[in-house]
Amino acid sequence: MINHAILKPAITSTVAKLNELFGAAPAVAVVLGSGWAGAVSLVQNAKHLSYTELPAFPQPKVEGHVNEVVVGTIGAQRVVMLRGRAHTYESGDCTGMAGALRSLKAWGVQVLLQTNASGSLRSHMPPGSLMLISDHINAPQRSPLVGEPGSERFVDMSCAYDLELRQHAKKTAQAQNLKLGEGVYCWALGPQFETPAEIRMFAAWGADAVGMSTVPETILARHAGLRVMGLALMTNMAAGLSAEALTHALTLQQAQLSGERAASFLGAVVAGLAELPSLQAGA
């Protein structure tokens, strides 16, 4: 549960620091999950700031995450990239990204583009595939909004992943002749990988990919009024769908192998957002 007495002044201090170093907020923020970090190299005139300098930001401790903010431009679009996220499996707390996301909104960010590494439940999306998230399943049924006051906590999630942004991602993929799947992402708490029986259940529910992040951030982002897009990189077939044993090292290895293509696509998606009429005023 969020301690507002602590978080509110932390957000105020964080926004002041962001304004001091970077000036006005970009319209677009990107959370870089495993396999997507190469997109940082596409940011021009980049300025870096450690999460340790931002009181409302988390200090995640997962291998593969650098834990810094990077602000600059990709094409004509200014962007802020978050290298690292807090995962619920680190502490059991699903509110870990609340301060960061609410700070971004208070700063003036309009869009949150989330990326992650996922396990595929579908044979047509083998490791290395990219998937646009159309919807999600909150398998643990845990919410970062528990304890929030007021009627705003009853957030409409019927279109959690913005339709206009999804259409933009599809057009970008078509322009690059890149195969982009689309499907439902299922959040599993972790840190252990899922059992084959759980994967069969998730598939029966309609899930196409499974992972240990993204859903709490989407809930927090929608509560804050941010528009959300989600992209998943398939790093493995989910449990029971291949003979390969699942490990975190395997996930990182596959993410690295596919990272260049994922980062290139992400850069094109971000650059193209500058052309969306709904974002031009904040670009």
Q: Is 48 a catalytic residue?
A: no
**Catalytic entry in 37, 81, 212, 232:** 212
* Residue 10 CA: distances (Å) to CA of 3, 14, 83, 225, 277: 11, 6, 20, 19, 33
Is 45 catalytic? The answer is no
35 close to 7: Cβ distance less than 8 angstroms: no
- Concerning whether 152 is annotated as a catalytic residue, the answer is no
pLDDT tens for 251-274 read: 677 677 778 899 999 999 999 999
**Average of pLDDT values for 124-144?**
97
Domain residue extents for the chain: 4-280
Q: Report pTM.
A: 0.93
- The reply to whether 238 belongs to the active site is no
CB 58 within 8 Å of CB 99 = yes
Domain 4-280 -> CATH class: alpha beta
Cα(158)–Cα(177) distance, rounded to whole angstroms?
A: 30
**Model pLDDT for residues 64-121, shown as the tens digit of each residue:** 567 999 999 999 999 999 999 999 999 999 999 999 999 999 999 999 999 999 999 9
13, 48, 89, 278: the active-site residue: 89
Q: Examine the residue annotation and report whether 90 is marked as an active-site residue of this protein.
A: yes
Would you call 168 a catalytic residue per the annotation? no
pLDDT in tens, 207-250: 999 999 999 999 999 999 999 999 999 999 988 787 676 677 77
Catalytic residue at 117? Answer: yes
Active site residue 177: no
Of 48, 134, 242, 248, the active-site residue reads 248
Q: Would you call 124 a catalytic residue per the annotation? A: no
Task: Answer yes or no: 97 catalytic.
Answer: no
Q: Which of 29, 81, 117, 131 is catalytic?
A: 117
